[in-house]
Amino acid sequence: MSELALLGGAPVLPEPLPPYRSIGEPEMEAVAEVMESGCLSAFYGSPGPEFLGGPKVRAFEAAWAERFGTKHAVSVNSATSGLVAAMGAVGVSPGDEVVVPPWTMSATAMAPLAYGGIPVFADIEPDTFCLDVGAVKAALTPRTRAIIAVNLFGHPARLAELRELADRRGIWLVEDSAQAPLGEEHGRRCGTVGHIGVFSFNFHKHIHTGEGGMCVTGDDDLARRLQLIRNHGENTVAWLGVRDLVNMIGFNLRMTELSAAIGLAQFHNMEEHVATRERLATTLADGAADLDGLTPPRPRSGCRHNYYCWTLRYDADAVGVSRETFSRALHAEGFPHFVAYVEPLYLLPIFQERIALGRDGFPFTLTERRYDKGLCPVAERLHEREAILFEPCAWQVSDADAERLVVAVRKVHARASELAAWDEERARPRAVRS
């Protein structure tokens, strides 16, 4: 192999990868149709047929429900909004505990706080990066109201086990399936195993509407509550005959007709968009499978992994050089990636300072829960030392480019001793001239 680009050689990928573009003629035509209609949103936050939105919103919801085999699909303006609405729908109240993973987008842990719920962090599995069922069991208390399972990076959590646990304990299971639109566990689609599933359509997901999300459920009452929270429910509870007023203060979480039209166009090509990422991830995993100190992701038996992120586990001792230097060399070869993902969420200032709603620390005033470092050692280890992440959703990668990415990984790995020597030379004190 040629000299490492970091040390003066030619990079494997001399030009940056182009961004993935999923917007094409169908999306353009869908937007034009809505613009010509003049109806960019048809929601009214008051009694009447427009309470459920316009024709594109309803069509998108119907198509999603049919595809996923669920009774109800409720669109929202983001997956974050969907998670907040889900917490309201299942009745999270001040002081209720909600078990969440620590290694995920912050919205997962913020959603319970919106209703005064207390996020309780349970550690994750080191290979799938999803909730560890044993850790969830240990986190449950009489105050637990719900579990939020994240199908992280496109891989299903242990959904059947978590649903069985939730049903046995009389609590709710909500799936954050923002990164796994077509993930599956033993033939069941991600998002449909829990009581509510939440999907994302923001701009860097497998399919997108700019911003947007979808909640799915088979429960009539939960569906109605999601719809009420989405659209100023306080104005419509009497009209709909709703008697349970818990969390029926509504918001404006509504999807526009423009977003729904784009979503419908993207929806019809969803399998192609997802499969493209899966093929790329398989090429990368196969290419790195025999390299000591690198553990590429592989789906758990019976699962479909959608690869929002392709996440290597890195062992610096086995490779012989630090993760940071390996990453620097990989970037120099033209392989776009990042390390660490997100810091475990309980280390964010909001948890360390125990200040969320209002000046007095509510809802942390309702609990003795602490969020000390060391709470979830697997998540901390992945963040601090192991995780190297590539985003298949972000880049347009040809088959030839995929092979070049593999070559880049193998080239850097093969020259790890040179990188270690380079590290050592850089760390050596320099003589000071007088």
- To the question of domain 5-19+270-342+379-427 being in CATH 3.40.50.1820, the answer is no
Average pLDDT over residues 66-88: 98
Q: Which two tokens stand for residue 289?
A: 């499978």
Average pLDDT over residues 316-329: 97
Q: pLDDT tens digits, residue range 157-179? A: 999 999 999 999 999 999 999 99
Residue 202 has pLDDT above 70, yes or no: yes
Q: How much is the pLDDT for 434?
A: 53
Domain with CATH 3.40.640.10 in the chain: 25-269
What span, in angstroms and rounded, lies between the C-alpha atoms of 179 and 306?
Answer: 8
Q: How much is the pLDDT for 425?
A: 83
Q: How much is the pLDDT for 426?
A: 84
Average pLDDT over residues 54-80: 98
Helices H, strands E: what count in the chain?
16, 14
Domain with CATH 3.90.1150.10 in the chain: 5-19+270-342+379-427
Average pLDDT over residues 89-111: 98
The H or E element spanning position 330 is: helix 323-332
Q: Which two tokens stand for residue 360?
A: 């007095």
Q: pLDDT tens digits, residue range 340-376? A: 999 999 999 999 999 999 999 999 999 999 999 999 9
- CATH for 25-269 is 3.40.640.10
Residue 429 has pLDDT above 80, yes or no: no
Average pLDDT over residues 263-291: 96
Average pLDDT over residues 267-279: 94
How would residue 150 be classed by pLDDT, with cut points 50, 70 and 90?
A: very high
* Alpha-carbon distances of 410 from 72, 289, 322, 336, 406, rounded to whole Å: 47, 10, 16, 15, 6
Check if the beta carbon of residue 331 is closer than 8 Å to that of residue 16.
no
Provide the 10 A C-beta neighbour count for residue 137.
14
Q: How much is the pLDDT for 424?
A: 86
Q: How much is the pLDDT for 430?
A: 63
Cα separation of the two ends of the chain: 42
Share of the chain above pLDDT 90, in %: 96
pTM here? Answer: 0.96
Q: How much is the pLDDT for 432?
A: 55
How would residue 433 be classed by pLDDT, with cut points 50, 70 and 90?
A: low
What phi and psi values does residue 173 have, to the nearest 5 degrees? Answer: -115, 120
What span, in angstroms and rounded, lies between the C-alpha atoms of 339 and 179?
Answer: 18
